[in-house]
Structure 1
Amino acid sequence: MGQRISGIYRLITIPSIYKGLMFSLGADNAIARYVNEALRPSPGLKMLDVGCGPANVLSYLPALDYTGIDMNEKHIAYARERHGDRGRFLVGNAAEDLKQEEATFDLINVSALLHHLADKEAISLLASLTRLLKPEGRIVTIDNVWLPRQRAAVKLINTLDSGVNIRTPEGYLGLLSGMGLEVETITWNDLLRVPYDHFVMIARKAS
Structure 2
Amino acid sequence: MAQRISGAYRLITIPSIYKGLMFSLGADRAMSRYVNDVLQPKAGMKMLDVGCGPANVLAYLPPIDYTGIDLNEKHIAYAREVYGDRGRFIVGNVAHGLKQEERAFHLINVSGVLHHLGDDEAAALFRSLKPLLKDDGKLITLDPVWLSGQHTIAKLFNWLDSGMNIRTQEGTLDC
TM-score band by shorter chain is over 0.9
1:115 maps to a residue whose letter is H
- Counterpart-to-counterpart distance in 1, 2:63 and 2:152: 41
Equivalent residues in 2 for 1:54-203 (5 A)?
54-171=54-171
Matches within 5 A, 1:25-36: 25-36=25-36
SS at 1:138 equivalent: strand
* SS at structure 1 position matched to 2:41: coil
TM-superposed CA distance for 1:154, in Å, is 2.0
In the other structure, the counterpart of 2:9 is: 9
Tell me the distance in 1 between the aligned counterparts of 2:76 and 2:33.
24
Letter in 2 for 1:118: G
Deviation at 1:90, TM superposition (A): 0.5
How far does residue 96 in structure 1 lie from its aligned partner after superposition?
1.5
TM-score by length of 1: 0.81
Q: d(CA) in 2 for partners of 1:125 and 1:161?
A: 21
SS of alignment partner, residue 143 of structure 2: strand
Alpha-carbon deviation of 1:155?
1.8
- Looking at structure 2, the residues matched to 27 and 164 of structure 1 have their Cα atoms a distance apart, in angstroms, of 21
**Residue in structure 2 matched with residue 48 of structure 1 by the alignment:** 48
- For 1:136, give the aligned amino acid: D
Q: Is there any run of 5+ residues in structure 1 with no aligned partner, and where?
A: 173-207
Once the two structures are superposed, what CA deviation does each residue of 1:99-145 show, in whole Å capped at 9, x if it has no partner?
A: 11111100000110100100000110011111110000001111111
Paired residues, what number? 172
3-state SS of the aligned residue for 1:171?
coil
Query: TM-score, length-normalised on structure 2?
Result: 0.95
Question: Tell me, what secondary structure is at the counterpart of 1:33?
Answer: helix
Which whole-Å CA distance do the structure 1 matches of 2:121 and 2:94 have between them? Answer: 12
- How far apart, CA to CA, are the structure 1 residues paired with 2:156 and 2:26? 19
How big is the alpha-carbon RMSD for the aligned residues of Structure 1 and Structure 2? 1.0
- Letter aligned with residue 4 of structure 2: R
Q: Could you tell me how far apart the structure 1 residues matched to 2:152 and 2:36 are?
A: 29
Q: Structure 2: which amino acid aligns with 1:30?
A: A
Shift of 1:160: 1.6
Identical residues among aligned pairs (%): 70
For the residues of structure 1 that align with 2:63 and 2:153, how far apart are their CA atoms?
A: 38
